[in-house]
Amino acid sequence: MKFLDLAKVNIRSGAGGAGSVSFRREKYVEYGGPDGGDGGRGGDVWAEAVDGLNTLIDFRYQQHFFAKNGRHGMGKARTGADGADVTLRVPVGTEILDEDQETVIADLTQVGERVLLARGGNGGWGNLHFKTSTNQAPRHANPGQEGVERTLWLRLKLIADAGLLGLPNAGKSTFLAATSNARPKIADYPFTTLHPNLGVVGVDGAEFVVADIPGLIEGAHEGRGIGDRFLGHVERCAVLLHLVDGTSATIAEDWRAVIRELERYGGHLNDKPRVTALNKVDALEPEARAAAVEALRAVAGAEVHEISGVSGEGLEGVLRALRAEIAATRAAEAAEETEEAPWRP
């Protein structure tokens, strides 16, 4: 299945049906009068987060979603049928943005969450509604209310616990393949990964989801390489794993390049907890390995995990570090939600 994380859609709710102008005229019936029914309500447009989807590719082939109009009212005080609703089925983690691509209308992060995007128009009143003691034969009815038409953007941000960062060929896809059942494409050239990949990782009986995104290069925020548009997929992560290629001759500068792109991207990505790992250590001689670890520790100012996605060295330790950060972050988030929740007696 092809991956798509941004889609433009046009939606329109249904118009309400018009009210009816009708009179009851029956032989041998002493009292006639107006009996025009009301128009039916127009259908609504909804968005719902569903399980089993991880791409917006369906919205490449269908961009228009129109709810049905309400039916007109009829005589004998019959109300017109309501128009059918239409629902946009989107993956969990989808943001719905206004036409300006900045105003967030909804953020669907749980399976089953629904949001009303456009309300259908009300049906018009039939002439039965206008009957009074002084106007016993009204000859007018209301038209139905028009529907709402708008253009929206859908932006998918994958739901993951940990996100992988690094330059192209830092070994992110190899790490994901070595620690999970995911099978991302792996090759010895840059930008092998062209779209995000998810994998479920297990350590010490606990599982969490890891997201691998295409590599960043200097100037990604300006569109160089694949750009930074995939960074949105790690905005929801509790922790970031920054992988640095141990065989590179410019380890410190490689680390700085990724950090600069995080700072320029914004979205508080640079404030998230980070675990730093020197990858491909199996390809280094002991002296070169020690020098590489020291260079990375000096620039990162934090503990450096020595790992190899190929040999498996150090993977269990870095997974434990990720799990600890995820648990701490989620606990802090839960505490914040408890404090912000309104008190109810």
Q: Which CATH number does the domain housing residue 61 bear?
A: 2.70.210.12
Task: Say how far residue 141 (Cα) sits from the centre of its chain.
Answer: 44
Please compute the mean of the pLDDT values over residues 171-197 and round it to a whole number.
70
Tokens of 90: 């989107």
130 and 184 co-located in one domain: no
Residues facing residue 96 across a β-bridge: 106, 154
Is residue 181 a known part of a binding site?
no
Number of compact structural domains in the chain? 2
pLDDT of res. 11: 96
Per-residue pLDDT reduced to its tens digit, 238-290: 898 999 998 888 899 989 988 888 888 776 777 888 999 999 998 889 899 99
pLDDT of res. 223: 54
Is residue 38 a known part of a binding site?
no
177 and 322 co-located in one domain: yes
Task: Report the alpha-carbon distance of residue 198 to residue 163 in Å, rounded.
Answer: 9
86 and 200 co-located in one domain: no
Q: Of 136, 156, 176, which one is at a domain's C-terminal end?
A: 156
Q: Of 156, 181, 207, which one is at a domain's C-terminal end?
A: 156
CA angle, residues 5, 230, 64, in degrees to nearest 5: 15
User: What SS3 class is residue 48?
Assistant: strand
286 Cβ partners below 8 Å, 6+ apart? none
Is residue 76 a known part of a binding site?
no
**Greater model confidence, 125 or 198:** 125
Residue 189 has pLDDT above 60, yes or no: no
Task: Please check whether residue 27 lies inside any domain of the structure.
Answer: yes
Q: What percent of the chain has pLDDT over 90?
A: 41
- Per the listing, tokens 């509790």 go with 238
Please compute the mean of the pLDDT values over residues 157-161 and round it to a whole number.
83
Is residue 194 a known part of a binding site?
yes
pLDDT of res. 224: 56
Is residue 213 a known part of a binding site?
yes
Task: Report the alpha-carbon distance of residue 176 to residue 166 in Å, rounded.
Answer: 13
Is residue 167 a known part of a binding site?
yes
3 Cβ partners below 8 Å, 6+ apart? 54, 55, 57, 195, 196
Q: What share of the chain is helix, strand, coil (3-state, %, to 5)?
A: 25, 25, 50
Task: Please check whether residue 200 lies inside any domain of the structure.
Answer: yes
Q: Whole domain around residue 123: which residue ranges?
A: 6-156
pLDDT of res. 55: 85
178 and 319 co-located in one domain: yes
86 and 199 co-located in one domain: no
Buried b (16+ CB within 10 A) or exposed e, 118-142: bbbbbbbbbbbbbbeeeeeebeebb
What's the mean pLDDT when you consider all of the chain? 85
Is residue 239 a known part of a binding site?
no
167 and 143 co-located in one domain: no
pLDDT of res. 340: 63
Q: Of 134, 156, 178, which one is at a domain's C-terminal end?
A: 156
97 and 146 co-located in one domain: yes
Task: Please check whether residue 113 lies inside any domain of the structure.
Answer: yes
Is residue 50 a known part of a binding site?
no
The answer to whether 85 and 21 have CB atoms below 8 angstroms apart is no
Is residue 251 a known part of a binding site?
no
Task: Please check whether residue 63 lies inside any domain of the structure.
Answer: yes
Kind plus residue range of the DSSP H or E element containing 117: strand 114-118
Task: Please check whether residue 65 lies inside any domain of the structure.
Answer: yes
235 and 131 co-located in one domain: no
222 and 104 co-located in one domain: no
Is residue 318 a known part of a binding site?
no
90 and 174 co-located in one domain: no
Residue 188 has pLDDT above 60, yes or no: no
Task: Please check whether residue 1 lies inside any domain of the structure.
Answer: no
**CATH number of residue 293's parent domain:** 3.40.50.300
176 and 27 co-located in one domain: no
261 and 287 co-located in one domain: yes
Task: Report the alpha-carbon distance of residue 272 to residue 208 in Å, rounded.
Answer: 17
